[in-house]
């Protein structure tokens, strides 16, 4: 008991705080950044061609600011969806190539923009015959491929927030339009990080 | 410089657009057939009504065992009459699921593309050796829905049970479609059947057996056999073997090499009518009904009844049951079972769900 009391009394003599601080007033300081910015994020969208399902993947973009209200750039995104029916398992990869232009407004650490993108979406379709591998005699092709490009575009609301230094988080969402034997409406969202050195 | 980059990207996209011009099919487009059945409806066209909407359905067969009461000797005259009215041919083809349908004319060859493989529940055996058999059934599509609608026996509903109207995948007790024949009616008749085999083949399997014939080829094929007699089946069963087919009547060929004959028959034949009837249980098990004294007297109008002992392959049972056939107007034959004491799944259960043996209902005709 005496030893225990001694340890308790001596403990404050050994205990001490770290001399530095992990977080201080400048940890989340931001920099104004240059005219170029890049971003990378995850994409979720309605498939360009398939009438059902959720197409998911990644997207990236480059943006250049001109003045304080306008920007333009280019984007690329890939997303995939797989759905099945009684006869087919259909996988479609959507490759979106876009030229974009945006008007934006900054407020403190945040910025909000309306971004219009246009360009081709290339859809790669793979159709597998359901259970086709079970038939040992069939000379039926078990898989079909197709590749098609369709003109498409989207109008997105983009929100970005400076986090620290030259890094930002951004999110965008909006309606899409693809022209392929008629107009096909849809939607797309992206969430990720951006870097503006 | 940046404008040049954007121009290059746009140019690449335009180039891709020019080379990527296939049609996307999504879930649409033609479905390639695994195989094609060639068939021809034969026989007397005067058997058909003038406005017949003749179709042929490929129907996969189910594994089914007749209940014991139907294969043991009847113990009295009432039972003889009831078994004739309520028992299905134990050697008959029992449909499990309709696969494809095609419009047909008598004497005109036609084709039925097979665009799907039979699912695992239609194949008998394990994944290393399994097989399914299908019969081509010709019918008058009276409801013009393009498919053969199967029915099931109209048994008397018990407490808390439905009236057998059918819902979802559960067929009702009535169907307007009228069957006129099939390529595979019963194992006791000559047949031509479509087979689908995966893996190896067990020659001792008793699923629509063809002992004495060659093994079915892998995948889809057409098989033929001459049939065996009921007595041959009984003798073989006692000997622990399968009844033999005449090898001269056997055939195993590719579907593309044969035209399967589907002969028209009288639709009033019991063996033909049963081709449109599926079964709810496949293991010969019986569901028992409770003769509840508090319930109204069951309506046995147009049904045959008999009092018999529980069927047994060993020592005779002391328990007497009331068995009731379906009605003469029913599409499918079947038997309902009442016991004074027992459970729904068994008349000999240890803890009976009901026991009216000391006070049977007034209408009970079989004694205590």
- Note the pLDDT tens digit of each residue in B71-120: 889 989 999 999 999 999 999 999 999 999 999 999 999 999 998 889 99
Tokens of B334: 């079947």
Q: With an 8 Å Cβ cutoff, are A149 and B26 in contact?
A: no
C-alpha–C-alpha distance, residues B133 and B194, integer Å: 6
User: Which is more confidently placed, B13 or B137?
Assistant: B137
Residue A8: pLDDT above 90? no
Residues of A in contact with B217 (CB under 8 A): 137
Residues of A in contact with B220 (CB under 8 A): 135, 137
Q: Strand B124-126 and strand B129-140: pairing?
A: antiparallel
How many CA atoms lie less than 13 Å away from A144 in the CB half-sphere?
Answer: 20
Residue B134: pLDDT above 90? yes
Distance, in angstroms, between A125 CA and closest chain B CA?
7
The CB density around residue A132, as the number of other CB atoms within 10 Å, is 18
Give the N- to C-terminal CA distance of chain B in Å, as an integer: 104
Contact B104, B27 (CB under 8 A): no
Contact B329, B86 (CB under 8 A): no
Interface with B, mutate which of A148, A151, A178 (most B CBs under 10 A): A148
Q: Is B79 helix (H, G, I), strand (E, B) or coil?
A: helix
Please tell me which of the candidates A132, A137, A149 has its beta carbon nearest to residue B16.
A149
Residues of A in contact with B195 (CB under 8 A): none
Residue B333: pLDDT above 50? yes
Q: How far is CA A93 from CA A57, A58, A121, B23, B235, in A?
A: 9, 12, 10, 14, 63
Residues of A in contact with B17 (CB under 8 A): 120, 122, 149-151
Q: What was the pLDDT predicted at B162? A: 41
Which helix H or strand E contains B87, and what residues bound it?
Answer: none
User: Which is more confidently placed, B227 or B315?
Assistant: B227
| Average pLDDT value for chain B | 88
Q: What was the pLDDT predicted at B353? A: 93
Is A34 at the interface with chain B, CB within 8 A? no
- Note the pLDDT tens digit of each residue in A72-116: 999 999 999 999 998 899 999 999 999 999 999 988 888 999 999
The CB density around residue B162, as the number of other CB atoms within 10 Å, is 10
Residue whose C-alpha is closest to residue B275's, from B38, B52, B89, B147? B89
Q: With an 8 Å Cβ cutoff, are B23 and A85 in contact?
A: no
Q: With an 8 Å Cβ cutoff, are B25 and A51 in contact?
A: no
Q: What was the pLDDT predicted at A138? A: 65
Q: Would you list the DSSP string of B274-326?
A: GGGB--S-SB----EE---TTSPPP--TTEEEEEEEPP-SSSPPS-EEEEEEE
Please tell me which of the candidates B2, B22, B116 has its beta carbon nearest to residue A147.
B22
Residues of A in contact with B25 (CB under 8 A): 125, 127, 144, 146
Residue whose C-alpha is closest to residue B184's, from B306, B96, B101, B272? B272
User: Which is more confidently placed, A101 or B31?
Assistant: A101
Interface with B, mutate which of A92, A129, A179 (most B CBs under 10 A): A129
Q: What was the pLDDT predicted at B161? A: 46
Average pLDDT over residues B354-368: 89
Contact A55, A81 (CB under 8 A): yes
Is A54 at the interface with chain B, CB within 8 A? no
- Note the pLDDT tens digit of each residue in B51-61: 999 999 999 99
Q: What was the pLDDT predicted at B187? A: 96
Interface with B, mutate which of A131, A151, A179, A184 (most B CBs under 10 A): A131
Q: With an 8 Å Cβ cutoff, are B27 and A87 in contact?
A: yes
pLDDT band at residue B13 using 50, 70 and 90 as cut-offs: low
C-alpha–C-alpha distance, residues B60 and B136, integer Å: 9
Tokens of B227: 């049939």
| Average pLDDT value for chain A | 88
C-alpha–C-alpha distance, residues B190 and B263, integer Å: 11
Q: How far is CA A83 from CA A48, A188, B29, B343, in A?
A: 14, 18, 16, 46
Distance, in angstroms, between B196 CA and closest chain A CA?
9
Q: Strand A167-179 and strand A143-164: pairing?
A: antiparallel
Phi, psi of B200 (to 5 degrees): -80, 180
Please tell me which of the candidates A72, A99, A149 has its beta carbon nearest to residue B20.
A149
Q: With an 8 Å Cβ cutoff, are B116 and A134 in contact?
A: no
Tell me the residues of chain A between 9 and 28 that have a Cβ less than 8 Å away from chain B. none
Q: Which residues in B have their CB inside 8 Å of a CB on A?
A: 2, 5-6, 9-10, 12-14, 16-27, 31-35, 115-117, 198, 217-220
C-alpha–C-alpha distance, residues A197 and B350, integer Å: 82
Please tell me which of the candidates B10, B16, B198 has its beta carbon nearest to residue A99.
B10
pLDDT band at residue B166 using 50, 70 and 90 as cut-offs: very low
Do you know the residue count of chain A?
197
pLDDT band at residue B158 using 50, 70 and 90 as cut-offs: low
Locus of tokens 């000797």: B73
Q: Is B231 helix (H, G, I), strand (E, B) or coil?
A: helix
Q: How far is CA A11 from CA A2, A3, A8, A17, in A?
A: 14, 12, 5, 13
Least confident of B2-16, B77-91, B136-150, B352-366: B2-16
Distance, in angstroms, between A74 CA and closest chain B CA?
7
């Amino acid at each position: 008991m005496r030893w225990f009391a001694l340890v308790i009394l001596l403990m404050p003599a050994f205990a001490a705080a770290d001399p530095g601080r992990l977080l201080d007033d400048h940890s989340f300081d931001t920099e104004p950044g240059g005219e170029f910015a890049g971003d990378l994020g995850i994409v979720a969208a309605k498939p360009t061609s398939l009438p059902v399902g959720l197409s998911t993947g990644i997207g990236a973009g480059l943006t250049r600011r001109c003045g304080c209200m306008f920007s333009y750039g280019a984007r690329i995104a890939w997303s995939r969806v797989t759905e099945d029916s009684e006869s087919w398992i259909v996988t479609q990869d959507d490759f979106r190539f876009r030229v974009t232009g945006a008007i934006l407004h900054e407020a403190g650490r945040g910025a909000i923009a309306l971004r219009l993108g246009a360009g081709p979406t290339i859809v790669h379709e793979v159709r597998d015959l359901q259970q086709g591998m079970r038939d040992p005699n069939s000379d039926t092709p078990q898989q079909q491929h197709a590749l098609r490009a369709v003109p498409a575009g989207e109008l997105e609301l983009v929100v970005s927030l400076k986090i620290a230094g030259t890094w930002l988080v951004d999110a965008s969402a909006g309606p899409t339009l693809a022209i392929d034997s008629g107009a096909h409406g849809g939607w797309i969202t992206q969430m990720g990080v951006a870097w503006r050195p | 410089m940046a404008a040049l980059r954007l121009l290059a990207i746009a140019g690449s996209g335009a180039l891709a657009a020019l080379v990527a011009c296939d049609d996307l099919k999504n879930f649409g487009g033609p479905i390639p057939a695994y195989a094609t059945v060639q068939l021809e409806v034969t026989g007397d066209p005067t058997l058909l009504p003038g406005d017949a909407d003749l179709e042929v359905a490929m129907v996969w067969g189910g594994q089914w065992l007749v209940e014991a009461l139907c294969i043991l000797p009847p113990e009295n005259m009432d039972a003889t009459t009831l078994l004739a009215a309520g028992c299905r041919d134990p050697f008959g083809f029992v449909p499990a699921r309709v696969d494809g349908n095609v419009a047909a004319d008598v004497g005109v060859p036609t084709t039925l593309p097979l665009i799907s493989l039979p699912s695992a529940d239609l194949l008998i055996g394990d994944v290393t050796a399994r097989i399914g058999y299908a019969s081509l059934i010709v019918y008058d599509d009276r409801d013009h829905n393009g498919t053969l609608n199967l029915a099931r026996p109209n048994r008397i509903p018990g407490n808390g049970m439905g009236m057998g109207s059918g819902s979802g995948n559960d067929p009702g007790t009535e169907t307007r479609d009228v069957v006129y024949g099939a390529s595979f009616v019963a194992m006791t008749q000559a047949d031509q059947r479509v087979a689908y085999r995966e893996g190896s083949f067990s020659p001792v399997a008793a699923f629509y057996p063809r002992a004495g014939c060659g093994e079915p080829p892998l995948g889809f094929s057409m098989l033929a056999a001459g049939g065996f007699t009921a007595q041959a089946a009984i003798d073989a069963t006692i000997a622990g073997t399968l009844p033999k087919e005449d090898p001269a009547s056997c055939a195993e060929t590719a579907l593309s090499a044969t035209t399967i004959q589907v002969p028209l028959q009288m639709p009033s034949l019991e063996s033909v009518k049963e081709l449109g009837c599926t079964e709810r249980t496949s293991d010969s098990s019986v569901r028992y009904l409770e003769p509840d004294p508090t319930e109204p007297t069951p309506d046995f109008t147009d049904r045959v009844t008999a009092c018999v002992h529980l069927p047994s392959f060993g020592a005779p049972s002391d328990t007497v049951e009331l068995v009731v056939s379906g009605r003469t107007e029913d599409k499918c034959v079947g038997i309902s079972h009442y016991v004074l004491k027992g459970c729904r799944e068994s008349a000999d259960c240890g803890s009976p769900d009901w026991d009216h043996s000391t006070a049977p209902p007034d209408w009970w005709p079989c004694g205590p």
